[in-house]
């Protein structure tokens, strides 16, 4: 499907300003296909995978179609399956409505005190975004009226049904005017969704966005063979070797999430957790810290997979492979968003994991590439290189006159310049890795080889940072090219499966 510029859509000046400020230049496939249909007043069924821009696909026309002058009533309702998705949609709508006057938007969801939501609704709200359970709470308290609803949006409808909200959805839809416009988005179309379409939509227009593969081409998918006890240290090494600022790490259990947070903190990494046992206030605190960059690693269960929406996630780690291949697609979709590139790393600890990975490849119709883990010597070399670059940058800043006076004074006291420089560096960088790490190199089984071949390979192979069998130990006195930096780690394996 050919993309159109947003300028070609018949949108208001206020909306064009908001879209430009958000950095959007071209609509996604789902946006280009559904926005004109919704603006024309049609009921719409949109089928597309997560991360394709569905919020803006309904948010832009919803805001454009608000009645003028604005009534003192709720005219649009957006239902989402989780608190996180409700907050995500609420934030996106508020950004899109930035240059529209007097548009009031509120998110209502469980897990937080209801009183503040009641006060907000009583002040007057034009668009309500929320989970079905909390919407019903407000209907029963008569703090929300749906009598003047003109548009209802069901976002991630299949996920709402998976969470048991079918009866709640139908109850809410029965409370809205029959002539409303109904827009439904879903990644899949099971029979219960088809029944809702048949019972509550009027001759809807169907839009289906398909991909040859379910994963994003902007996400580089990699797997490593390792052992369970090494995984936490492997994450620390990969974060340094690939210069990752932030990442989400997925585990299969809440217990493993909490244990991993402790292990990563012991390695001096800023990490925190998000899973189903946290209340909404705790979740908000963790997510705000992650968005600010106070936390580099967010450790999560699959409960949070669909609800997270952070634009600056550099990578996703599958600490445990998910039991369901569909969750793999949802997990790695947290990176490589909004046109940015990302990385997805998976840890393999045995032949069962490898078989599971092959099933994921077949399901997603994409290849996951085998790489070698960075060795301790390679990681130490990179760390020393980065600290050396910091010192060079400090020299070029040339704003250290007061420090020079102290240096001259110390020289007068008989301290040699080289000794002084080394002492000051030790004070500034107390954790500088040794030039040659004492940590023994690890041998990793190749679970994709027959046993006899694995044993033969272990007798001879030495893993390396750049894929060769020579050690990566740069000479720091050697001349460097301008803007030199070590290559991204991981020798590429010839084995790569692509499913057509």
This model's pTM is above 0.85: no
Over range 261-268, report the average pLDDT: 94
Residue 434's pLDDT band (cuts 50, 70, 90): low
Structure confidence by residue, pLDDT tens digits, 269-305: 999 998 877 777 888 888 889 988 899 999 998 866 5
Percent of the chain exceeding pLDDT 90 equals: 46
Residue 128's pLDDT band (cuts 50, 70, 90): very high
Specify the residue for token string 């803007």: 483
Structure confidence by residue, pLDDT tens digits, 153-208: 999 999 899 889 999 999 999 999 999 999 999 988 899 999 999 999 999 999 99
Over range 418-443, report the average pLDDT: 68
Specify the residue for token string 């950095």: 23
Specify the residue for token string 């026309």: 61
pLDDT at 343: 94
pLDDT at 211: 63
pLDDT at 141: 96
Over range 404-431, report the average pLDDT: 80
Residue 238's pLDDT band (cuts 50, 70, 90): very high
pLDDT at 411 over 90: no
Range in 116-120, 171-175, 215-219 with the lowest mean pLDDT = 215-219
Over range 216-239, report the average pLDDT: 91
Structure confidence by residue, pLDDT tens digits, 354-365: 999 999 998 888
Taking the CB of residue 204, how many other CB atoms lie within 10 A of it? 19
pLDDT at 306 over 80: no
Domains in the chain with CATH codes? 6-208 (3.40.50.300), 211-395+428-500 (3.40.50.300)
Question: Rounded distance, CA 88 to CA 283, Å?
Answer: 14
Question: Rounded distance, CA 178 to CA 150, Å?
Answer: 9
Mutual angle of helices 401-412 and 417-428, in 10-degree steps: 130
Structure confidence by residue, pLDDT tens digits, 27-54: 888 899 999 999 999 999 999 876 667 8
Question: Rounded distance, CA 441 to CA 457, Å?
Answer: 15
Mutual angle of helices 132-141 and 114-123, in 10-degree steps: 70
Q: Bigger pLDDT: 143 or 456?
A: 143
pLDDT at 438: 52
pLDDT at 455 over 60: no
pLDDT at 410: 84
pLDDT at 132: 96
Contact call for residues 18 and 96 (beta carbons, < 8 A): yes
> Could you tell me which of 398, 344, 75, 127 has the C-alpha nearest to residue 220?
344
Average pLDDT of the chain is 82
Q: Bigger pLDDT: 2 or 100?
A: 100
Over range 312-328, report the average pLDDT: 90
Contact call for residues 11 and 169 (beta carbons, < 8 A): no
pLDDT at 477: 33
Strand bridging mode 342-348 / 219-225: parallel
Structure confidence by residue, pLDDT tens digits, 75-107: 999 999 988 889 889 999 999 999 998 899 999
Residue 462's pLDDT band (cuts 50, 70, 90): very low
- Provide the sign of the torsion angle of the four alpha carbons 321, 326, 331, 333, taken in this order: positive
The contacts of residue 75 (CB under 8 Å, 6+ apart) are 66, 67, 126, 127, 148, 149, 150, 151
Structure confidence by residue, pLDDT tens digits, 373-409: 988 788 888 878 877 887 787 778 777 777 788 888 8
- Provide the sign of the torsion angle of the four alpha carbons 267, 268, 270, 276, taken in this order: positive
Residue 432's pLDDT band (cuts 50, 70, 90): low
pLDDT at 458: 44
pLDDT at 379: 82
Please provide residue 286's backbone torsions phi and psi, each rounded to the nearest 5 degrees. -65, -45
Taking the CB of residue 277, how many other CB atoms lie within 10 A of it? 12
């Amino acid at each position: 499907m050919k993309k159109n510029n947003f300028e070609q859509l018949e949108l208001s000046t206020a909306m064009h300003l908001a879209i430009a400020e958000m950095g959007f230049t071209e609509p996604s496939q789902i946006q280009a296909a559904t926005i004109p249909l919704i603006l024309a007043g049609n009921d719409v069924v949109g089928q597309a995978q997560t991360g394709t821009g569905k919020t803006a696909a309904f948010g832009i026309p919803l805001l454009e179609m608000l009645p003028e002058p604005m009534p003192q009533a709720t005219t649009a309702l957006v239902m989402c399956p989780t608190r996180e998705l409700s907050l995500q949609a609420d934030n996106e709508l508020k950004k899109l409505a930035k240059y529209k006057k007097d548009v009031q938007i509120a998110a209502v969801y469980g897990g937080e005190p209801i009183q503040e939501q009641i006060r907000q609704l009583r002040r007057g709200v034009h668009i309500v975004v929320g989970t079905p359970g909390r919407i019903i709470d407000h209907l029963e308290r008569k703090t929300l009226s749906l009598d003047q609803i003109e548009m209802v949006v069901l976002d991630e409808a299949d996920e709402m049904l998976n969470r048991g909200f079918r009866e709640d959805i139908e109850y809410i839809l029965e409370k809205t005017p029959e002539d409303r416009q109904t827009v439904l988005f879903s990644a899949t179309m099971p029979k219960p969704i088809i029944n809702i379409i048949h019972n509550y939509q009027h001759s809807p227009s169907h839009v289906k966005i398909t991909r040859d593969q379910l994963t994003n081409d902007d996400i580089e998918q990699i797997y490593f063979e390792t052992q369970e006890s090494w995984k936490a240290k492997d994450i620390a090494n990969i974060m340094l070797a690939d210069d990752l600022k932030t990442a989400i790490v997925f585990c299969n259990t809440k217990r493993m999430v909490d244990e991993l947070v402790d292990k990563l903190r012991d390695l001096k990494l800023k990490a925190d957790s998000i899973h189903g046992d946290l209340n909404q206030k705790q979740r908000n605190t963790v997510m705000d810290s992650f968005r600010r960059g106070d936390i580099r690693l967010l450790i999560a269960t699959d409960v949070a997979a669909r609800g997270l929406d952070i634009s600056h996630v550099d990578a996703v780690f599958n600490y445990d492979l998910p039991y369901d291949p569909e969750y793999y697609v949802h997990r790695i979709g947290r990176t490589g968003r909004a046109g940015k590139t990302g990385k997805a790393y998976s840890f393999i600890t045995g032949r069962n994991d490898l078989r599971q990975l092959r099933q994921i490849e077949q399901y997603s119709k994409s290849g996951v590439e085998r790489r070698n883990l960075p060795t301790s010597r390679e990681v130490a070399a990179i760390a020393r290189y980065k600290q050396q670059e910091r010192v060079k940058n400090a020299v070029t800043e040339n704003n250290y006159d007061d420090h020079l006076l102290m240096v001259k004074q110390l020289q007068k006291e008989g301290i040699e310049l080289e000794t002084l420089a080394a002492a000051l560096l030790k004070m500034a960088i107390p954790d500088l890795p040794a030039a040659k790490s004492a940590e023994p190199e690890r041998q990793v089984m190749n679970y994709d080889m027959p046993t006899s071949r694995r044993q033969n390979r272990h007798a001879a192979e030495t893993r390396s940072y750049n894929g060769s069998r020579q050690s990566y130990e740069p000479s720091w006195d050697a001349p460097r090219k301008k803007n030199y930096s070590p290559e991204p780690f991981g020798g590429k394996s010839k084995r790569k499966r692509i499913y057509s």
